[in-house]
A and B are shown apart, each in its own frame.
Chain A
Amino acid sequence: MEVNKLKEVKLFLGPQHPGMHGNYSVHMYVDGDIIKKARPMPGMLHRGFEKLMERKLWMSNMAIIPRICVIEPDINEMVYAMGVEALAGVEVPEKATWIRMMILEMARVATHLFALGGIGGPTGLYTSMYWAVAERDLILDLFEKLTGARVYHIFIVPGGVRKDLPEGFKTQLGTYLESLEKKLPEYQELLLKHPIIHTRSKDNILLPAEVVHELGVTGIGMRSATGKAYDLRKVKPYAFYDQVEFEVPTATYSDALTRIHLKFQEIQQSIRILKQIIEKMPDEGPVKAPIGTGNALKLRVPAGMVYTAVESTRGEYGYFIVSNGKEKPYRIAVRGASYPQGLLGIERYLPGHRIDDAPLWMDTMGVCSPEIDR
């Protein structure tokens, strides 16, 4: 897009801007309040995870990987564990698999809540942010009870999960799900039906199907644009996703509002899955299979390479793990789900929008900066 040199103003969005999602930055060249050119500036969160993992023991990496996606750390633990288990040929005990699914779905609800709340900032509807963040905190309370930490759970490990459920956890989760379900209509009124949201998001920030295919967008972005129910939980089920009933919401016209709607519907589906998990999970049974022959310091994963992926809130999230049979991984490459839209997408498709729509763009497109930087 042509930029009028005389009128051009360069604006920084991020990395410390409150409207920005994470420590990410976009340099915007604007004409009036229309973005003419956008330059994504990643690197603020680059900690060299992929390289770092090559220098840490297989088990020590457990404490590093959750940080690749801050708000939804569990997917990292899951793909890593799945990869290591595939290489080592370890069968995960049944109960552990259910607990893993439970964690993943709880995290999905929490992340979607966070994203929905995040719409409050750029639209000026702060109530939604307060509500959603408070709601998410209740899930974090549950996580704290289950795993001992609120954000970086480090709970799904190769072989299973670290501990069995604490006493009464299923009941607590069930109670929480009921209270959340009761509140959902209020969110619907507050967010989905609100004229401010409608004005700002309807027919705005479009994501046509061609762009989806061009960039390789997955997740809600793809499903909202193409109408295809491409969800790894359905098309390539991992854990026990083939044993629970749920629907994958889709749409054929992807504007910001559609994507917000889809997020909302996914929360409802996750609640549905969680209820089935509570019902189907066995009470007894081991939660971790032994991995390796000795202790964690000497754990060697058999040589080989594997790609494992799960459906994150932003799309396909995968690890490509290469092992040379030593105590440390030879190479781990991360496929961050928001990489396509968060890097190339911003550069190509953010121009043409208004300045104040940029944060909304980031939110509804599902950009998670640490998984771009890694």
Chain B
Amino acid sequence: MKFSKSMLSPVKAWKYLVKEPVTIPKKDIFDQPREAADRYRGFHINHHDQCVGCGSCSEICPTEAITMIPIEGREKALGRTDELPAFDYGRCSFCGLCVDICTSDSLKMTKEYIHISTDVNSMMFLPDELGIHHTYYENGYTRDESSELLNLKAYSMDEIPHEGRNESFMELIKGFSKEMAISEASRCVSCGVCTDTCPAHMHIPEYIQTVYDDDMNKGLSLLYETNPLPNVCGRICTHKCETACVIGNRGEAVSIRWLKRYIVDMADDQAYDKMIVQPLVKPSKQAVAIVGSGPAGLSAAYYLRTMGYEVTVYESRPQAGGVVRYGAPEYRLPDEKVSEDVSVIERTGVKIITNTTVGKDISLEVLHEKFDAVFVATGFWKPKYLDIPNTDHPDVCNSIDFLAQARDYTRKMGPMPEIHEKAIVIGGGDVSFDVARTLVRFQNEKFGKHHVAFIARKDEKNLAASLEEILEAREEGVIYNLNASPVQIDVDAENRICGVTVSKCETLEIEGRLRTISDPEQQCCIEGTQVYFAVGTDPDYDYLLEKLEGQLKIERNKLKIKENGQVEGIEWLFAGGDIVHGPDIISAIADGHEAARGIDAYLMKK
């Protein structure tokens, strides 16, 4: 290599003097900052309306830069907390994992990348939809299908085959296998929004974690901390938690109820024995009477017993359980599962006296004298009918008596209810579907064929029943007559029911409320010789009023109580369950627990 040539080679670089420089002049950096790429991971924006405050971003954050902070004026609501994520940009590594895991699609990154301040404490931000500096910047990094960090698809639950399902009372839902349960549990982000929504505030993320850890015994003890009827709730709970579940914002909610059922099905007998805790404190001589052995009564009984009180439960029917024993159909909730829950409660030392109606066999007055406190949870057991002609016909039945008889029949404790070849069910809620589907099964058993006509005033979208009931009942052969308002029960010359006349109606939203407008011009008759009403139930307060007339406050059929379950104005009387909150099992269990605490506080002072 010639020295002179090589020595001069850098001179060639001088040609770059006349070329456009690749660098950006310093003054432009602030005036016109270089625009970042479309996927740039810059400062965040967070749509506060959309954000549910689940905290998944904070959980995944590798640098712990995200803190969830409660916001004044932000109310907790169904499926959202009062918290929002705050970002410490002194820690943030701009990895974008928070964006990828955001359950509500509210968190995104922008192209903004400049923050200049002389104050080291100025790095903490609560980004909103305008970003951290409230200047508009285009979206940068956003989540897409491949960067998704959640599993939005629920693992489907196995059911017994469709074929022949409507001929037996075999339980429909098979339950999760171990592998499926663990997979389903791994979809939970443990945010706890469900816990807030659950009336009983069950430790949902915690027990889902026990499924994931395959530690059912720990799971069972977590369930019993807030719910002494886990077998029942694992099957027929109204699962408000799943409505709130944040995974449901963009996908399918975690199957919380089935995971609970998986725990109770899988926990071994010793685990159940551990739930039969001896009273936690020194046994007390004080005694509590509980009227009604439904979910509220049993729940109160279990927790009062664990607190050391003598508990006696009075039940008017032959078996304890109330609505879960005499209401829910066998194919949803097998009888032995109710017995399992009841037996745990009984084995703690709770005395259950059946076939004893308070107000008839024993008066409330006697209970008040014999016991230190009384908890009433007698539920809604008085059937309602529609105000149409011929409801007093002997072939008009109600859901309560029918379902109770049906349960007695399936557990071989009574005869099959009297049923006809063609039946009509009037209703719209879950119970009406229970009636219709039970009827289909009975008809198949007795006649080898079925004919159940279902009448409801609302359309499919607005029915009160859950979607799965509507779909399954259709599969089982229930004939739907929706948007039909019953006008009268038709009776023939020999005083036999021959059908129900309905008029066409429509559900409209008027002033924010759903109203049904019927058209009397358009009428038709729906054929059937037996009519079942499942249009709601009422409470029966006679046994209370007999002694406490004038002292009780009853509003819209519901008893007024204080927060701790104490009936207003009567300090020894506590109430809970349907008579306080309306029909819902999990609320009743919560009431029982709350009242147990209230009674404990009351008796401690006494």
**A195 beta carbon closer than 8 Å to chain B:** yes
**A186 beta carbon closer than 8 Å to chain B:** yes
Q: Within the assembled complex, what's the spacing in Å between the Cα atoms of A62 and B238? A: 40
The A-contacting residues of B in range 67-116, CB under 8 angstroms, are 93-97, 100-101, 109
- Which of A101-109, A156-164, A255-263, A308-316 lies at the interface? A156-164
A contacts with B, residue count (CB < 8 A):
48
Q: Within the assembled complex, what's the spacing in Å between the Cα atoms of A131 and B21? A: 11
**A213 beta carbon closer than 8 Å to chain B:** no
A309 CB to closest chain B CB, in angstroms?
Answer: 24
A175 CB to closest chain B CB, in angstroms?
Answer: 15
**A242 beta carbon closer than 8 Å to chain B:** no
> Given A134-B23, A293-B151, A296-B101, are A194 and B6 also a contact pair (CB < 8 Å)?
yes
Chain B neighbourhood of A164, CB < 8 A:
144, 146
B147 touches A163 (CB 8 A): yes
Of all chain B residues, the one with the shortest Cβ separation from A134 is B22
A162 touches B22 (CB 8 A): no
Q: Within the assembled complex, what's the spacing in Å between the Cα atoms of A147 and B183? A: 30
User: Of B3, B12, B97, which one neighbours A296 at CB under 8 angstroms?
Assistant: B97
Chain A neighbourhood of B170, CB < 8 A:
none
**A32 beta carbon closer than 8 Å to chain B:** no
User: Of A152, A154, A162, A293, which one neighbours B186 at CB under 8 angstroms?
Assistant: A293
Give the most central of B60, B62, B185: most A CB within 10 Å.
Answer: B62
**B301 beta carbon closer than 8 Å to chain A:** no
B433 CB to closest chain A CB, in angstroms?
Answer: 32
Q: Within the assembled complex, what's the spacing in Å between the Cα atoms of A57 and B149? A: 13
- Which of B31-39, B160-168, B391-399, B475-483 lies at the interface? B31-39
A147 touches B60 (CB 8 A): no
**B320 beta carbon closer than 8 Å to chain A:** no
Q: Within the assembled complex, what's the spacing in Å between the Cα atoms of A299 and B37? A: 31
A64 touches B62 (CB 8 A): yes
Q: Is the interface of B mostly helix, strand, loop or mixed?
A: loop
Chain B neighbourhood of A160, CB < 8 A:
146
A149 touches B41 (CB 8 A): yes
Chain B neighbourhood of A146, CB < 8 A:
39
Q: Within the assembled complex, what's the spacing in Å between the Cα atoms of A290 and B39? A: 22
Chain B neighbourhood of A296, CB < 8 A:
60, 97, 100-101, 149-150
A148 touches B140 (CB 8 A): yes
**B352 beta carbon closer than 8 Å to chain A:** no
> Given A134-B22, A193-B1, are A63 and B38 also a contact pair (CB < 8 Å)?
no
- Which of B187-195, B219-227, B502-510, B598-606 lies at the interface? B187-195
A292 touches B146 (CB 8 A): no
The A-contacting residues of B in range 354-411, CB under 8 angstroms, are none
A65 CB to closest chain B CB, in angstroms?
Answer: 10
B154 CB to closest chain A CB, in angstroms?
Answer: 11
A144 touches B37 (CB 8 A): yes
A294 touches B186 (CB 8 A): yes
B contacts with A, residue count (CB < 8 A):
48
> Given A148-B41, A294-B185, are A286 and B146 also a contact pair (CB < 8 Å)?
yes
User: Of A162, A194, A293, A297, which one neighbours B147 at CB under 8 angstroms?
Assistant: A162
Chain B neighbourhood of A298, CB < 8 A:
185-189, 212
Chain B neighbourhood of A154, CB < 8 A:
95-96
Of all chain B residues, the one with the shortest Cβ separation from A157 is B147
B182 touches A293 (CB 8 A): yes
**A254 beta carbon closer than 8 Å to chain B:** no
The interface bits of chain A over 301-334 (1 if a CB of B lies within 8 angstroms of the residue's CB, else 0) are 0000000000000000000000000000000000
**A16 beta carbon closer than 8 Å to chain B:** no
**A166 beta carbon closer than 8 Å to chain B:** yes
**A56 beta carbon closer than 8 Å to chain B:** yes
**B61 beta carbon closer than 8 Å to chain A:** yes
**A210 beta carbon closer than 8 Å to chain B:** no
Q: Within the assembled complex, what's the spacing in Å between the Cα atoms of A56 and B108? A: 23
**A25 beta carbon closer than 8 Å to chain B:** no
B546 CB to closest chain A CB, in angstroms?
Answer: 56
The interface bits of chain A over 52-64 (1 if a CB of B lies within 8 angstroms of the residue's CB, else 0) are 0000110111111
User: Of A193, A293, A297, which one neighbours B6 at CB under 8 angstroms?
Assistant: A193
A152 touches B93 (CB 8 A): yes
A145 touches B38 (CB 8 A): yes
Chain A neighbourhood of B13, CB < 8 A:
127, 131, 190
Q: Within the assembled complex, what's the spacing in Å between the Cα atoms of A299 and B150? A: 10
**A284 beta carbon closer than 8 Å to chain B:** no
**A295 beta carbon closer than 8 Å to chain B:** yes
B104 CB to closest chain A CB, in angstroms?
Answer: 14
Q: Within the assembled complex, what's the spacing in Å between the Cα atoms of A62 and B184? A: 24
**A245 beta carbon closer than 8 Å to chain B:** no
B16 CB to closest chain A CB, in angstroms?
Answer: 9
A144 touches B146 (CB 8 A): no
User: Of A61, A125, A134, A145, which one neighbours B39 at CB under 8 angstroms?
Assistant: A145
The B-contacting residues of A in range 33-76, CB under 8 angstroms, are 56-57, 59-64
A117 CB to closest chain B CB, in angstroms?
Answer: 13
Chain A neighbourhood of B7, CB < 8 A:
195
Q: Within the assembled complex, what's the spacing in Å between the Cα atoms of A309 and B199? A: 53
Chain A neighbourhood of B41, CB < 8 A:
148-149
B62 touches A297 (CB 8 A): no
User: Of B59, B97, B151, B182, which one neighbours A290 at CB under 8 angstroms?
Assistant: B151
> Given A186-B12, A294-B183, are A195 and B3 also a contact pair (CB < 8 Å)?
yes
The interface bits of chain A over 129-156 (1 if a CB of B lies within 8 angstroms of the residue's CB, else 0) are 0010010011001001111110010100
The A-contacting residues of B in range 1-47, CB under 8 angstroms, are 1, 3, 6-7, 9-10, 12-13, 22-23, 36-41
Of all chain A residues, the one with the shortest Cβ separation from B9 is A189
